[in-house]
A and B are shown apart, each in its own frame.
Chain A
């Protein structure tokens, strides 16, 4: 049995016509890292809130750990870990106190939490910050503390909403490493992101969401194979010459605001042909196709902010 099963899941907010989630279905298996990818407003956060049992589905069915989150929300929340997008740590309390009070929310004893917080701070590489107020922590440290906090109850499922948004590259890599460790001990990870490299790094399987619906689902490799070619040739031209060049070149070409993307299994061959045709791009780059190409294809290139 899947750990999470959703069918035709919907979310509408009362008093608005807005449908945040418009009928999605997916399953998450135990031990996997499952990702929701999508532009802002795609319905990722609404979905995550329903999975966290703090938001009632407006339609469809959702089962988490075999239970109905509406009727068993309290019991389910005891088995989940939640890492919200905005940390929501208590700035006035110390690092350790943040963990302790959160543990008390779960009904864990003060004595247990004193020991547990030490263990979690080790894991989050924050042991030397235990007595500091959260105010004085960097963004990366705060995020690691939030992850440590989400682990006080040894959750079976960890929900992470944009875990590395706003972090610098070093902080992101430290965080990814911690998440890999959790996965290796059997914690099921569910995360949202709009960083493609993060999705490729972390997710065994993912869905791409757009406008409240699932555009496609699969492993990163499957999605790349299904929607784009093996390689991509990126060409840059002076402003205004892109459209002409694209027309001349023909084939499977996407026009982005700043460059052309030519999808081909052999990028060098396309580049050779472009040169033969007399095209003189400012820069040319042949690279492997990535999830970002899939994402752009499935969710459109228009700005959704």
Chain B
């Protein structure tokens, strides 16, 4: 698995500076424009805090989720398709499972770096109360991205038709991004929609990050969120082992 990760690190060597700039610029712009800018139009508090305080941790989770989808979805599909990275790797002693594991580790690293940049920017806005909170947010956001990434990779390796990824991005990822308690509380949605959002991964990630940032986390809810995301990740890996083998050892 580490051997397969090494390949991605070699590639990353060429591009990491650029991605770090994007990772910092993105949250900076979002927090300025929506948190501070648009948020100034929000009268009073949201759940007892300013809009910026409410919005930032939700956005942290949503950004991790979106980055993970892009890396695990588009990244995996092109590694299998146009770039043929996987076909090259499975001609060596590496197994399809290791090829997947190496790529997922790389996705995790990228999500982690993105989350780190985001948390740093949040701290600059005075939104992180302590180093402990910063660390907890960092881990929570990474988990929010990595858990669904495994399932996304398990599916994306079977996709030969690239536009399908775009379709899923537009009609599955974007709605989750908008309605999972990122920009506003899920409590404002109609009851039926609320139930759906509670069942989806991003709400768990957003709520986990927000409760940690605002100091409202309870052991019960934190455990629920972490368990949900952990199980999702484990199931994704199990499915991925099957789909990667099917596609790469035909």
Contact = CB atoms under 8 A, between A and B. Distances in A.
Contact of A90 (B4, B85, B90, B250): B85
Nearest to B85: A90
Contacts, number: 64
Interface residues of A, number: 29
A52 B83 CA distance: 20
A105 B7 contact: yes
Interface in A76-108: 77-78, 80, 82, 84, 86, 88-93, 97, 100-102, 104-107
B249 A55 contact: yes
A49 B90 CA distance: 11
Interface string B5-21: 01100110010000000
A52 B91 contact: yes
A74 B95 contact: yes
Interface string B94-119: 11000000000000000000000000
Given A54-B249, A90-B83, A90-B85, A105 B10 contact: no
Contact of A105 (B3, B14, B250): B3
A106 B91 contact: no
B249 A102 contact: no
A13 to B, nearest CB: 7
A55 B6 CA distance: 25
B92 interface: yes
B178 to A, nearest CB: 34
B19 to A, nearest CB: 14
A277 interface: no
A162 B11 CA distance: 29
B132 to A, nearest CB: 37
Nearest to B86: A88
A92 B94 CA distance: 22
B13 to A, nearest CB: 9
Interface of B: 3-4, 6-7, 10-11, 14, 83-85, 87-95, 248-250
Nearest 4 interchain pairs by C-beta: A105-B92, A88-B84, A82-B91, A101-B7
Interface of A: 13, 49, 52, 54-56, 74-75, 77-78, 80, 82, 84, 86, 88-93, 97, 100-102, 104-107, 153
